[in-house]
Amino acid sequence: MDKSNQYRVVIQRILTQHAAQKSSIGQIETLALFDEHNDNYLVMDVGWDRTGRVHSVFLHLHIKNGKVWVEVDGTERGVAEELLGAGIPKEDIVLAFYRPERRQLTEFAVA
């Protein structure tokens, strides 16, 4: 299995696990959305809570140029740690939610 396919499998497994964790607040559905054609993978909440409409992406991963770009990470632990635990090396993980000039301060890939 080539690297991109391996990363797709890992990402889909991790995001499916996150989507399976149901919200205890309001009437919220958690969705895992996989766009393999463009290599974008999201977990989002949709529904209603006591304050109103909920429609938010809390995880967005993107495979680009052979690396996993963490666009949004709303997890407590950090999805990058889960990616590392699944065998994706630090040099193939970009914390895209940091400004490009700040990425060099992390242990992960710059781009």
Distance CA 12, CA 90 (A): 19
Looking at residue 26, its pLDDT comes to 72
Encoded tokens for 76: 């407590």
Tens digits of residue pLDDT in 76-107: 999 999 999 999 999 999 999 999 999 999 99
The pTM score is: 0.92
Is residue 13 pLDDT above 90, yes or no? yes
CA distances (Å), origin 52, targets 26, 40, 49: 9, 28, 5
- Residues 18, 4 contacting (CB under 8 angstroms): no
Distance CA 96, CA 106 (A): 11
CATH H superfamily, domain 3-105? XisI-like (3.30.310.110)
Tens digits of residue pLDDT in 28-84: 999 999 999 999 999 999 999 889 999 999 999 999 999 999 999 999 999 999 999
Distance CA 86, CA 8 (A): 12
Is residue 10 pLDDT above 80, yes or no? yes
Containing H/E element for 84? helix 79-85
Q: Would you list the domain boundaries of the chain? A: 3-105
